Amino acid sequence: MQEHPDQARVHAALQRVWRQVEPEIQRRLTTLEEAGKALQAGPMDEGCRHEAIDAAHKLAGSLGMFGFAAASAWASEIESLLEIPGAISGEQFNGFMERLRVEVNRDRNEQAGGSDEGSDE
């Protein structure tokens, strides 16, 4: 199906912004993964917890704009659980993180596979 010109222009803008912000998105995911490792080793210190909450909050707020709706929802879930100290074990946290990673990678693959604009690098 052909996109309306406005939609195509917004889509192109989204792809451009995504290419710019992807390293930062990956950094936020890494921050959460590090938090998961810390949580598995013992209670998470407050600094680490707040950093993880911030990363999850930003992922929840931005991933959905780029079409990563499920990943955004998982990030939001992680943020909510982190806000209550001790509400989540390291194992549970890593399970959520795994789902978040799967969703981001699945959506990335779908976007790459579905792109017919030759913009993939």
Partner 1 sequence: MGKTVLIIDDEADIREVATASLQLVGGFIVLTAASGQHGIAVARQEKPDAIVLDLMMPEMDGCEVLLQLKNDPEIRDIPVVLLTAKVQGMKKEMAQAAGAAGVLMKPFDPMLLPAQLSEILGWADVDREHA
Q: How far apart (Å, rounded) are the C-alpha atoms in residues 106 and 61?
A: 19
Binding of residue 31 to partner 1 (CB under 8 A): no
Closest approach of Cβ 46 to partner 1, in Å?
17
Residue 81 binds partner 1 (CB under 8 A): no
Q: Is 83 helix (H, G, I), strand (E, B) or coil?
A: coil
Among 37, 38, 49, 58, binds partner 1 (CB under 8 A): 58
Q: How far apart are CA 32 and CA 36, in angstroms?
A: 6
Query: Residue 64: CB partners within 8 Å, gap ≥ 6?
Result: 71, 72, 73
- Of 14 and 48, which CB lies nearer to partner 1 in the complex structure? 14
User: Which residues make up the interface to partner 1 (CB under 8 A)?
Assistant: 4, 6-7, 9-10, 13-14, 17, 20-21, 24, 57-58, 60-66, 69, 72, 76, 79-80
